[in-house]
A = this chain, B = another copy of it.
Amino acid sequence: MMSPKQTQTAAEISEIPSTIKHQLEMGIETYWAVGNELRDIDVQGYITCARGSSDHAATFFKYLFETHTGLPVASIGPSVATLYKANLKLDGFAAIAFSQSGSSPDILALLDAAGRGGAKTFSVLNVTDSPLGKIAETILPIHAGPEMAVAATKSFVGMLIASLGMLAGYLKDRSIISTLQLLPDLAQEVINSEKELPMGQISKASSLYCIGRGLNYALACEIALKFKELCHLHAEAYSAAEVLHGPATIAHEKFVTLFIESSGIESASMEAARQNMKSRGATVITLESIPKLTNPSNSHCRIELISPIVQIISFYVFVEKLARRFGFNPDLPTGLEKVTKTF
């Protein structure tokens, strides 16, 4: 329940640990079974359909599946169906829509066109009794409960978990499932924690970069959008490699960069980009990854796969506070609605 002082956004963030617990109980076998199916039908590649935060969840799916299965993942813009009315040729592909509400007309149109083009259609969805729920052949419900705040938080986390569950099934890797079981406690821990990003440094930025790599690039996209939506702060996401191809030029003494730290294989390239930014005089802030679990009984944990989830929750707690400090109401982003209809 929302206390008089608490925003709807904060209330939904605080529900995340229990939402994850509920999602794992209710959903994990479905995700596992869909992953099994994707492997058994021998798909040749994936199409994703999404917008906004859900599209960043699709980017997480892309890195996850390209690196673990070797199959390509193409994000197709809704306009290919709505505006250009292309006759998609997608035999052998799985088309996966990511949506909280299942009500965006352009995502519906694209998934429908993908199905008519021969793709098997799936939807990672919160509101399952929605138009998108009706047209997808297979639904992966994320069980996040009602999400009223304009800024998606619970549903974004739920989409990452659904993707990890599908990957587990695809690889028949139970260690991913057992790693996911750590999430409710880790999420609660990070919500209770007093640790936060240096608010003062960020509040002085006229604009900033959010930099991640691999799975954390998807996080950087989501973080940049939340800075915009809730704090009216112009933040742009880059991968740690791409940022060195030109975009680095605007980094100077008053420029702020937020690095989404990885504890895994990406850390060396993240460090190279961080040093490059520092050498230009930019202020570098780090959203820490969760440390590797050292208990030997957990040595099979795929902690690098769930670290991004803990990190984004930590960021949500922070950005909601930052918005209020800036004098904005996180529940009322200027001129936005929960379902954007652009078609």
Which chain A residues have a beta carbon within 8 Å of chain B's beta carbons? 44-45, 47, 51-53, 55, 63, 66-80, 83-84, 86-93, 106, 117, 206-207, 213-214, 217, 225, 228-229, 232-234, 236, 239, 241-242, 244-250, 252, 265-266, 269, 272, 276, 279-280, 333-336, 340, 342-343
Contacts and interface: CB of A to CB of B under 8 A. Distances in A.
Contacts of A239: 77, 79
Interface centre among A73, A234, A276 (most CB of B within 10 A): A234
Contacts of A75: 74
Given A84-B265, A86-B67, A266-B83, A249 B206 contact: no
Question: How many copies of this protein are present in the complex?
Answer: 2
B265 A246 contact: no
Contacts of A79: 213-214, 239, 241, 266, 269
B233 A236 contact: no
B244 A333 contact: no
Given A77-B63, A333-B246, A336-B248, A214 B72 contact: no
A308 to B, nearest CB: 15
Contacts of A74: 45, 72-75
Given A47-B72, A236-B236, A252-B232, A225 B206 contact: no
A232 B248 CA distance: 9
Contacts of A228: 246-247, 249-250
Nearest to A119: B72
A84 B52 contact: no
Given A241-B342, A249-B335, A333-B246, A67 B84 contact: yes
Given A72-B88, A77-B217, A207-B207, 17 more contacts: A47-B72, A53-B246, A66-B86, A72-B76, A79-B213, A79-B214, A83-B266, A84-B265, A106-B241, A228-B247, A228-B249, A229-B249, A232-B252, A244-B342, A245-B340, A246-B333, A249-B335
